[in-house]
Amino acid sequence: MAKNRQVAIVGIGQSKHRGHRPDINQAELVREAVEDALRDSGLSLKDIDCVVHGDMELFEGIHQPDMWHTLGDGAFLKSGFRITTGGTTGATIACAADNLVASGFYNVVMALGFEKQEEGHTTTGITNMADPLWMREIQTGAITGSTGLEWVNEFGERAEWAAAKLRVLMADNARRNPKAHLRINITEKEVMNSRLLAYPLRLLHMCPESNGACAVIFASEDLARKFPQKPVWVWDHITMHREETFFRGGPRKDPLTQEIAARRLFKKTGIKNPLKEIGVFEMYDPSSWWLIDWIVNFLLLDRKTVLEMVERGAFNIEGEFPINPSGGVVSTNPIGASALIRVAEAGLQIRGDAGEHQVPGEIKVAMASGFGGTFWTVLTLLKKNLDGMNSVKVAVPAIKAKTVKKPKSKKVKRAKPDKKKEKKAKMKIKIKAKKSKAVKIKVKKGKKR
């Protein structure tokens, strides 16, 4: 993406994500994340130029909650945008905030994702968002067994144990994260024996309904270097919509948006080997089956390789390619904020501020994904420094500073002359310009009479 200027994340904040928060209302929940981000950045609300708000109002049953949330996010009398793109909402507002700063419209923008699902009904919202006949597949949300069934058909029970192992890994990571919702201690056997939803998808494979908020502050390069926290640079991001390829049963012929987004983003940024060049990946994982399947697509690997990597613990925090050290969406899922949490957690890993769930070693590049709607994918890359990033293309400002210039003579534009008229005019000019010669008259003398 060509930018007018580089953009960095300078503040990260989250509320405590829980299944029940009867102690506070929506605006107060938003306030928790905003205050956390302001403390992290050292800014005050006066320094925020614009607020980009994201949530799923269908899931709370309240129309335009961003109007009410100004009591918690401080957006009153500020520029603001409200964005809703399903599960990708949090990732979309991160992209929008980056674009608004990169364009030069604003210097400091706060992206705010939110959901308080206990005050609404998510299933009701999903069921009423599409035609019940033609789009019935999306009305179950993430509850689908088709992806897992492909793995079981290919690898048998081995695949089921791999999905269970990944779910246990996410639970172990979440217990290290004090902000996570489900901080549970489970075993692979408990996952395998949990209630069946749609074979082979089980209850413990699935993400929960969470209440929580996340705020991320973006600033221009010149300002970012002045903040107390080390800036995390937004390298690039991509959004992929391919609704026409939405899976409706049978073998998948077209590549998923995850694979297409990854290939295009890696090509833009010059990444040749994501396993070696990316230090950590915060993936939007609605279920453990989609987690194992999308690793294949995002990292451009084959299923057998991914299965072997799961079995040897390659995706652990201390492994060769850590995935979701925060615990992922299967541990914390306030839908309007879920994808923004991925960006926030990736930023914390680069800064080295993730606490107990920090990946060991220096993280120079981190990746975060968002997912929603009919297989929409948003993919974001963050960097520790500006090395290797594309040079900024500065646009010419609309209003230039006044400079003293020598006055230029005005040139009068003349219409193209008609050739016939021009010819006649030249003839006339020649005649007028021709000098007449004196005529000598000889007078004959007459004879005298």
With CA atoms as reference, report the closest residue to 296 among 102, 162, 192: 162
Residue 30 domain-assigned? yes
**The predicted structure's pLDDT at residue 144:** 78
DSSP state letters, 27-67? HHHHHHHHHHHHHHHT--GGG--EEEEE--GGGTT-S-HHH
pLDDT of 405 higher than 90 = no
Residue 51 domain-assigned? yes
Query: 141-192: per-residue pLDDT in tens?
Result: 567 788 899 999 999 999 999 999 999 999 999 999 999 999 999 999 999 9
With CA atoms as reference, report the closest residue to 161 among 310, 315, 338, 383: 310
By residue count, the chain amounts to: 449
Look up residue 368 and give its DSSP letter.
E
Q: Which two tokens stand for residue 379?
A: 């993919």
* Three-state SS at 93: helix
87 forms beta bridges with 85
The pLDDT mean for the chain works out to 85
Residue 136 domain-assigned? yes
Name residues whose C-beta falls within 8 Å of residue 141's C-beta, 6 or more positions apart in sequence: 122, 123, 126, 286
Residue 121 domain-assigned? yes
Q: What is the mean pLDDT of residues 375-391?
A: 88
Residue 403 domain-assigned? no
Residue 241 domain-assigned? yes
Tokens 């981000």 correspond to 37
With CA atoms as reference, report the closest residue to 212 among 185, 177, 180, 184: 180
Residue 399 domain-assigned? no
Q: Which two tokens stand for residue 140?
A: 């179950």
Query: 66-87: per-residue pLDDT in tens?
Result: 888 899 999 998 999 999 888 8
pTM of whole model > 0.85?
no
Q: Could you tell me the CA-to-CA distances from 298 to 109, 331, 340 in Å, in that order? A: 29, 21, 18
Query: 283-323: per-residue pLDDT in tens?
Result: 999 999 999 999 999 999 999 999 999 999 999 999 999 99
With CA atoms as reference, report the closest residue to 106 among 52, 176, 161: 52
Q: Could you tell me the CA-to-CA distances from 87 to 227, 305, 413 in Å, in that order? A: 31, 28, 59
Residue 412 domain-assigned? no
CA–CA gap between residue 331 and residue 286 (Å, rounded): 9
Burial class (CB in 10 A: 0-12, 13-18, 19+), 189: exposed
Q: What range defines the domain where residue 178 resides?
A: 7-383
CATH code assigned at 162: 3.40.47.10
Number of domains composing the chain: 1
